[in-house]
Structure 1
Amino acid sequence: MDEVGDFNTPPGRRDSLPSYESIMSIEYSPDDTANNNTPCSSDSHRPMVSLPEVSSTNNGRIDVRVGSRCSQNLELLMSHQVPENYQTNETPTNGVPTWDIKLNIVIQVVGSRGDVQPFIALGNELQKFGHRVRLATHAIFEDFVTKAGLEFYSIGGDPVELMSYMVRNPGLIPSMKVLRAGEIQQKRTTLANILDGCWRSCIEPDSHSHVPFVADAIIANPPSFAHIHCAQALDIPVHLMFTMPWTSTRAFPHPLANLKYSGKDHSLGNLISYHFVEWITWQGLGDLVNKWRRTVLGLPQIPATEGPNLAETLNVPFTYCWSPALIPKPGDWGPNVDVSGFFFRDPPFYEPPSELREFLHAGASPVYIGFGSIVLEDPEKMLSIILDAVRRANVRAIISYGWANVKGPKLSHVHYLGDCPHEWLFQHVVAVVHHGGAGTTACGLRNGKPTAIIPFFGDQPFWGNMVAAVGAGPKPIPHKDLTGQKLAGAITYCLTDKVMSAARGIARNIKQECGVRAAVNSFHSHLPQHTMRCDLIPSQPAVWEMKRGKRTIQLSNLAACCLKNQGYLHEKNLKRHKTKSIFIDIRRWDPVTAISSASLSTVTEMADATVGIFRDPYREFKRHREKQNIATSDMASNKTGASAGGEYSGYGKDMALASVISFGKFLGRTSRGALVDLPLAAVEGMRAVPRLYGENVRDNHKATDWKSGMRVAGSAFVHGLHEGVTDIFVYTYHGKREQGTIGVAKGLTKGLVSLTLKTGAATMGLVAYSNQGIYHSLRTAMKQGLTEKVEQARWAEAEYIMRMEGNLPAYVQEVCGAFDALMVARDT
């Protein structure tokens, strides 16, 4: 058993929860430590550094090493910030409002079948509330989704290629070999297509039935990346759901980060590991996302300082679909984060083939071995290891083909199996061995089966560690280190009484939960119900609004159509209702760094526009020459003798136009920098300074157009001037009362700083906020194309509802009556 490693992981009591440390600190095996591929490898030979070191591993994770000097600086910086602790709840079931508004919900999922399956269960549960649910994912899963009764929309991308790429190159930081092969650019192209597909899934009709669809809310897993941006473009709510921790916490490090923290406060190291993973991800994808936002959605670019942690900054609701019996919600996760429990679909009907039924009855219960969606580099080698392990462990086995199509010689103690629902199969096996996908892990634990995990990349080591921490299986064995003897040892360990007992205890806890129902409750509880309800038909979502005096009336598609057809209003009286607007602000800390950052951003974009004045005409020239060469080649092959150059000879106009457009960008960026960005950075930087000495800073309203810009400027001026003048007396008084003479000096100093900064911010804010509002109004006018496209999709949906609604006269009478009542109430 030396080669196998130590499988004697304490099983833990059935009714107790594992500690965070036990879940996140489990080692892989002695071999991993020797190879420095795990968080357990020694760091004594590394020099202490002042900045964190980040490097990739061969299992899809990153090493984050924070030296003593850097950790001391971090702890000094954070010493005055007390971490918030919230009242945690195991399942989001308390205080959930009754929900009766029927929404169009798009669920965007990027990943394997195991990533898609939990959201099918979620979609079916949402349908019970009358919601129309569209699951947007890869085309390969269309039958899987539609057979479950959900609408499907393809977002592009091939998960088979994705899995193959991840197995060959699991690290977040690509190797030189991968860069030379051009795979990174291919994956970036795939992601660009997925971003476009996610946006289309929000507004385009069904590709088969052509029934119109516009999303009222978005649910997504984080790797889909488009979620927040689509929600911002449509002004609708977004809710993220995932199978592993993605929200920063002091309780444990990011599952993809092997943390090496040299400071005293290890919880701070856990916290920053999330920021490093997000930062690395944004470095690779930020330019793609920003280009897509600018060209497709008509939204401004997200600065590098805000992109990595956008979901947390915006307090986007997050639901984690794992059992709180395994990992309870950390105390520093706020009320916008819930832990619901695993998502399980209703078991599908399955009639086993006769060969499988005969194998199951031919002897002792077999062990299941399969790697699902993983595309193996060497399937023959893996099959050889599996068969050797089965022989060593002296067990019967069911080996799943999976996407790698693992299939070997016919043996009496081995049965090879294709597609089969795990919900049914895992009831008939004694233990399970798999790659550690979240759905497969959950299904095995729910059925009380001891689980051995062979992780390949990503969150799979996290699930392996989780299973080992609760004693339901051995420590995970990375697939690159797998041997027949190690796998045999893992299987043998799974069959011990203590592991089987621990697995049954976990199953009892999980069966008391209903994760998918809790997740739907969480989703509903975070929706802005008051802004989503139609004023005339309360069970329908508001998608339009109209002004009547000082009152804004929220209308559903059906209500708007009824009023329009009865002559109560015209389309021009309506504008698109914004259920939940998303504003992405740049956080400022002080005026010096704020102005420096804004200046650098302005100069960079001005330089890029300047280069474009000369570069873009050259690109236009090359494009025309390529077309001309192709046309010439076609003419020659057809032997027509016609001139191919005439059509493309006049490309000087296009070259000049490209240069003029770039020059216009230069002028626009210069004007925006001088009139909006720099003044606003200075104002926000001055306003942020009091935070450095513990004062709460009043939040301004958002300047979304020229009118709100004027209001914000006036309000900020009045409050800033008042606080700046009065603070010198308030600080001095409180300082004298608390610290006497020394307090007077401190208070006087704070008061003078406040007088200078707050009155300065108030005065400059008159220009900055007004210009910001004007800029947003101009930008809104320039992106009318997107607004018109969304409104056209809404009207198409409204007309379809009118055609399909069976009891239309009753609705017309109800809507018109309710509208008249509202008008009477307004007049009185």
Structure 2
Amino acid sequence: MVAKYTDSNAEEDNLVWDAPPPYALRSSSDVLAGSCILNTDGTLNVELESAAPNELTKLLPIYRPAVPEPEAESLGKCPPLNIVVQVVGSRGDVQPFIALGTALQRYGHRVRLATHNVFADFVRKSGLEFYPIGGDPEDLMSYMVRNPGLLPSLDSLKGGDIPRKRRMIHEMLQGCWDSCILPDPISQEPFVANAIVANPPSFAHVHCAQALGIPVHLMFTMPWTATRAFPHPLTKVKAKDIRQSQANYFSYGIVNIMTWQGLGDVINGWRVKDLHLEPVHTSMGPDLIESLKLPFTYCWSPALVPKPQDWGSNIDICGFFMRDEPAYTPPQDLDNFLRAGPAPAYIGFGSIVLEDAKRMTESILQACRVAKVRVIVSRGWSKLGGDDPSTDDVFYLGDCPHEWLFKQVSVVVHHGGAGTTACGLYNARPTVIVPFFGDQPFWGNVVASNGAGPVPIPHTSLNSENLAEAIKFCLTPAVNQAARAVADQMRRENGVEKAVQSFHRHLNIPKISCDIQPQHVADWACRLSKSKAETKMSHAALKDSVLKGHVKLGDAAPYQPKDYNMGVERLDPFSAGASATLGVLTNFTSALGGTFIDPFKQHKQARLANGNGGSAGLAAATAVGKGFASMGTSLSKGTLVDVPLALAEGLRNAPRLYGEEVRDHGKVKDWKSGGAFAAKNFGTGFYEGITDIVIKPYAGAKKEGALGFMKGVGKGSLNMVAKPGSAMFGLLAYPAQGVYKSIKSLKKSPVTDAVRAGKLANYERYNDAL
């Protein structure tokens, strides 16, 4: 589904909330052919084949030799930051980030954990700030049980889950943005983020980071980055006439494409309407994280799942995030149960919402009778056991910290969330995983491959017989020994501290630090009197400069240390020109359709709201005016900026197709930089286009003889067309792009105003504290 937006005034009503996304993908070519079909359980069946496997190999990134990563301390001490940690998911997803937030806070940062409202007490009792982003995790868990992948099953498509989930995503996107800039909901203490940490399913992370111009760092418990080592956990991959490793790699891109099909229009609608950013192009959306090379930390033990060789230096594996064991005194009835006999088994599924909790409870109790073990059953969100009382052999448990509880039991049976899995293994407990969705099957297979438990039992296959066999298997000496070996490895790691180091290492510390007082973070950018260069300033440095008369407070702008280029990379003039032309036609057609449809919509809404025919007519007329304005804007921008820019960039980047470096002329930010870029591109383009026909053959002959000479002739001939062509188109394109950006920057933005207001509130709070 492609969003239809014509300008920054696009309304939320443009979104078709209940339209089922086209969750199917087929492609056919000599290099790569295959299909991707959505299963009834929400996972993907991926079948890939190739008639040219050697050509396919060339499309994959090559392995790079490992480069030693610098210690975070060698890069300088990171100043204290305002960090917002955005997490979407269950309690098991939130808990690791509480451990991370506590460690970041211990370092000196101010940490706000932004997640679902239901976890407010859980977060605040841990000593972290909390911000509610909306969304109903219980509804989300119920949905995920019915749809084990990120994608909806056919039953969900028919049953009305789609509009509810899409609206929930939109609510959480806006909640994540608010968490970056709004004061604490209780104390009203101002807050503007200097950096974002997020798990990928929060989806808002990089878009919020772009709007604020700040660093973002992703952290997650399941593989999210393409690798040859193993397939995406949400896929079932079959490879024909290609290596399994190649199929594994492409499975990640397929999941990204399918996910963007379902949510791309929601994300772009939010970007345009609420963040006042350009929509992300369809070709960029699925692989945005990959193309931007965002820093990524995986919070699992490298002893269990080592870092794949094809993951770059922007990716770290640090170990599980284990929080400090909370102080806990068991209630008397639990203490009595534990003392009354041998160590029981633990069975619980936490935040999972089961469709038939009664049947699951019966299977659990029967399995424990067959295995001859006592059992602690965690009621969880599914209320296992209902209102049944505990007995001599069965104890029904409410909330209890796993860090304490897992020390008291002989075996743990759970859904396989990364946090619960880590806690069980860390305490050397043999583990039975009953996966429901997401990364849970992945962790079940990891446990089994390390000998610390049986192969996972999908919840749809669970019965009293196979559960009893799994428990008995876990009680054998060999499995207990394997669990102790895994625990010994994990105890030598300190995942949270390494994650903090990873976060600091991937920051550009000089870039985010104040020029005058580098021990503080830079929040402002301004030019001091008698200085042409922009100065990065903290609240303290700005206050001092204002008092000394070196700068006026009104001249200081919120500092943006990080720039994100989400524009389409034009690699050749043909695809670039075609894509830009198609985009212009699409935008114009959408605006034309809106000119006829929106007036009726606005007329109906105004009439329902006011019952006044006059106001309804005015609303319709206004919509007509907006439609014609949108048509004019899309056509003029397309013909004067988009198409010439696409051709200029496509021609300029064409030499990259045969391995040649392309000159960097800087970035077009306004009309001045646009003119400067055009002038540099014109000069170098014509000069190199003419001289390359001589220089390239000579350099090639010197390196490879006659063959190199012929290669050089080819490169020089192509450059003689591409580089002067870029120079000519660029004379119009780059200044026009600069003028467009200058005009856009003059338009008052509520996002800029909100960020500045938050910064000023922090500035005043700092002054009051002195």
Q: Same fold (TM over 0.5)?
A: yes
User: Which letter does structure 2 place at the counterpart of 1:329?
Assistant: K
Partner Cα distance (2:503, 2:473) in 1? 40
Aligned residue number for residue 152 of structure 2: 174
Q: Is 1:534 aligned to residue 514 of structure 2?
A: yes
Q: Is 1:451 aligned to residue 416 of structure 2?
A: no
Partner Cα distance (1:343, 1:58) in 2? 34
1:76-225 matches, cutoff 5 A: 76-79=55-58, 83-87=62-66, 97-225=75-203
Q: Is 1:72 aligned to residue 51 of structure 2?
A: yes
Task: Confirm or deny: 8 A CA contact 2:149 2:234 kept in the other structure.
Answer: no
Partner Cα distance (1:205, 1:540) in 2? 21
How far residue 155 of structure 1 moved from its aligned partner, in angstroms, is 0.3
CA deviations 1:194-219 (Å, max 9, x no partner) are 01000000000000000100001100
Aligned residue number for residue 215 of structure 2: 237
Aligned residue number for residue 605 of structure 1: 587
Partner Cα distance (1:77, 1:698) in 2? 29
Task: Confirm or deny: 8 A CA contact 2:606 2:615 kept in the other structure.
Answer: no
Q: Is 1:373 aligned to residue 373 of structure 2?
A: no
Aligned residue number for residue 16 of structure 1: none
Aligned residue number for residue 308 of structure 1: 286
How far residue 592 of structure 1 moved from its aligned partner, in angstroms, is 1.2
How far residue 497 of structure 1 moved from its aligned partner, in angstroms, is 1.2
Partner Cα distance (1:410, 1:605) in 2? 64
Q: Is 1:692 aligned to residue 653 of structure 2?
A: no
Partner Cα distance (1:539, 1:743) in 2? 54
Closer, same or farther: CA 212–344 of 1 in aligned 2, 3 Å:
same
1:323-722 matches, cutoff 5 A: 323-407=301-385, 408=388, 410-548=390-528, 549-628=531-610, 645=611, 647-722=612-687
Partner Cα distance (2:107, 2:151) in 1? 43
More displaced, 540-549 or 333-342?
540-549
Closer, same or farther: CA 65–576 of 1 in aligned 2, 3 Å:
same
Aligned residue number for residue 10 of structure 1: none
User: Residue 800 of structure 1 aligns to a residue in which SS?
Assistant: helix
How far residue 263 of structure 1 moved from its aligned partner, in angstroms, is 2.8
Aligned residue number for residue 23 of structure 2: none
CA deviations 1:716-772 (Å, max 9, x no partner) are 223322322222123212343455445433322221111111111122222212211
How far residue 684 of structure 1 moved from its aligned partner, in angstroms, is 2.0
User: Residue 107 of structure 2 aligns to a residue in which SS?
Assistant: coil
CA deviations 1:521-573 (Å, max 9, x no partner) are 00011111112112233222111111132222211123323433454432232
Aligned residue number for residue 38 of structure 1: none
How far residue 410 of structure 1 moved from its aligned partner, in angstroms, is 3.8
Aligned residue number for residue 257 of structure 2: 279
Closer, same or farther: CA 86–224 of 1 in aligned 2, 3 Å:
farther
Partner Cα distance (1:97, 1:220) in 2? 23
Closer, same or farther: CA 784–627 of 1 in aligned 2, 3 Å:
closer
Aligned residue number for residue 641 of structure 1: none
Closer, same or farther: CA 230–550 of 1 in aligned 2, 3 Å:
same
The higher-RCO structure (CA 8 Å, 6+ apart) is 1
User: Residue 72 of structure 1 aligns to a residue in which SS?
Assistant: coil
How far residue 225 of structure 1 moved from its aligned partner, in angstroms, is 0.4
Closer, same or farther: CA 359–328 of 1 in aligned 2, 3 Å:
same
How far residue 589 of structure 1 moved from its aligned partner, in angstroms, is 2.9
User: Which letter does structure 2 place at the counterpart of 1:491?
Assistant: I
How far residue 328 of structure 1 moved from its aligned partner, in angstroms, is 1.2
User: Residue 615 of structure 2 aligns to a residue in which SS?
Assistant: coil
Q: Which runs of 5+ in 2 are unaligned?
A: 1-29
User: Which letter does structure 2 place at the counterpart of 1:458?
Assistant: G
How far residue 59 of structure 1 moved from its aligned partner, in angstroms, is 4.9
Task: Confirm or deny: 8 A CA contact 2:42 2:153 kept in the other structure.
Answer: no
Q: Which runs of 5+ in 1 are unaligned?
A: 1-47, 629-644, 806-828
How far residue 469 of structure 1 moved from its aligned partner, in angstroms, is 1.0
Partner Cα distance (1:250, 1:701) in 2? 35
Partner Cα distance (2:314, 2:448) in 1? 29
Partner Cα distance (1:97, 1:748) in 2? 46
1:9-48 matches, cutoff 5 A: none
Partner Cα distance (1:709, 1:623) in 2? 43
User: Residue 583 of structure 2 aligns to a residue in which SS?
Assistant: helix
Q: What is the identity percentage for the equivalent residue pairs of Structure 1 and Structure 2?
A: 49
More displaced, 398-407 or 737-746?
737-746
Partner Cα distance (1:483, 1:262) in 2? 35
User: Which letter does structure 1 place at the counterpart of 2:767?
Assistant: M
CA deviations 1:643-676 (Å, max 9, x no partner) are xx5x453332221111111111111111111111
Task: Confirm or deny: 8 A CA contact 2:113 2:130 kept in the other structure.
Answer: yes
Partner Cα distance (2:70, 2:700) in 1? 44
User: Residue 310 of structure 2 aligns to a residue in which SS?
Assistant: coil
Task: Confirm or deny: 8 A CA contact 2:343 2:374 kept in the other structure.
Answer: yes
Task: Confirm or deny: 8 A CA contact 2:31 2:52 kept in the other structure.
Answer: no
Closer, same or farther: CA 327–565 of 1 in aligned 2, 3 Å:
same
User: Residue 649 of structure 1 aligns to a residue in which SS?
Assistant: helix
Closer, same or farther: CA 395–81 of 1 in aligned 2, 3 Å:
closer
Partner Cα distance (1:133, 1:767) in 2? 47
Aligned residue number for residue 28 of structure 1: none
Q: 2:762 aligns with which of 787, 792, 797?
A: 797
Partner Cα distance (1:305, 1:622) in 2? 36
Calculate the TM-score normalised by the size of structure 2: 0.93
Task: Confirm or deny: 8 A CA contact 2:301 2:317 kept in the other structure.
Answer: yes
User: Residue 472 of structure 1 aligns to a residue in which SS?
Assistant: coil
Task: Confirm or deny: 8 A CA contact 1:135 1:145 kept in the other structure.
Answer: yes
Closer, same or farther: CA 699–167 of 1 in aligned 2, 3 Å:
same
User: Which letter does structure 1 place at the counterpart of 2:507?
Assistant: L
Closer, same or farther: CA 236–453 of 1 in aligned 2, 3 Å:
same
Closer, same or farther: CA 54–391 of 1 in aligned 2, 3 Å:
same
Aligned residue number for residue 53 of structure 1: 35
User: Which letter does structure 1 place at the counterpart of 2:251?
Assistant: S
Closer, same or farther: CA 512–81 of 1 in aligned 2, 3 Å:
closer
How far residue 702 of structure 1 moved from its aligned partner, in angstroms, is 1.9
User: Which letter does structure 2 place at the counterpart of 1:87?
Assistant: A
Partner Cα distance (1:511, 1:61) in 2? 34
User: Residue 285 of structure 2 aligns to a residue in which SS?
Assistant: coil
User: Residue 413 of structure 2 aligns to a residue in which SS?
Assistant: strand
Partner Cα distance (1:691, 1:268) in 2? 24
Task: Confirm or deny: 8 A CA contact 1:59 1:458 kept in the other structure.
Answer: no
Aligned residue number for residue 20 of structure 2: none
How far residue 161 of structure 1 moved from its aligned partner, in angstroms, is 0.7
Partner Cα distance (1:712, 1:430) in 2? 68
User: Residue 75 of structure 2 aligns to a residue in which SS?
Assistant: coil
Closer, same or farther: CA 739–211 of 1 in aligned 2, 3 Å:
closer
User: Residue 400 of structure 2 aligns to a residue in which SS?
Assistant: coil
How far residue 355 of structure 1 moved from its aligned partner, in angstroms, is 1.2
CA deviations 1:433-488 (Å, max 9, x no partner) are 00000100000010011111000011100110111111111111110011110111
